[in-house]
Amino acid sequence: MKVALKVAGMTCQHCIRAVTGAIQALDPQAQVVVDLAAGTLAVQTSLPGNQVAAAVTAEGYQVLG
C-alpha cells in the first residue's frame, strides 16, 4: 500500500536517513521517498499508515496529516 504523509521538521539528508531508517526497521522492503521542499513523505510499504506515522513521530518529527 502507499502511505503519503505531510511531515514537519524534515530539513536535510540526516532527516531523510532517520525517517527512512525508522520505517525500514519495521518494514525492510519499504520504499521511502522524502520531498524536503514540500515536506512530504511517500512510502510504499506493507505497514498500515498509523504505524508509519508512529515511526516518524518517534524520530522527533511532527506528522501533520
Does the protein bind Cu ion through residue 15 (CB under 5 A)?
Answer: yes
Of the candidates 11, 44, 57, 62, which one interacts with Cu ion according to CB under 5 A? 11
26 touching Cu ion, by CB under 5 A: no
Phi, then psi, of 12 in degrees rounded to 5: -155, 180
Which residues lie below 8 Å from residue 40, measured CB to CB, with a gap of 6+? 4, 5, 6, 7, 34
Footprint (CB under 5 A) of Cu ion, residues 30-49? none
Q: Which stretch binds Cu ion (CB under 5 A): 14-22, 29-37, 41-49, 54-62?
A: 14-22
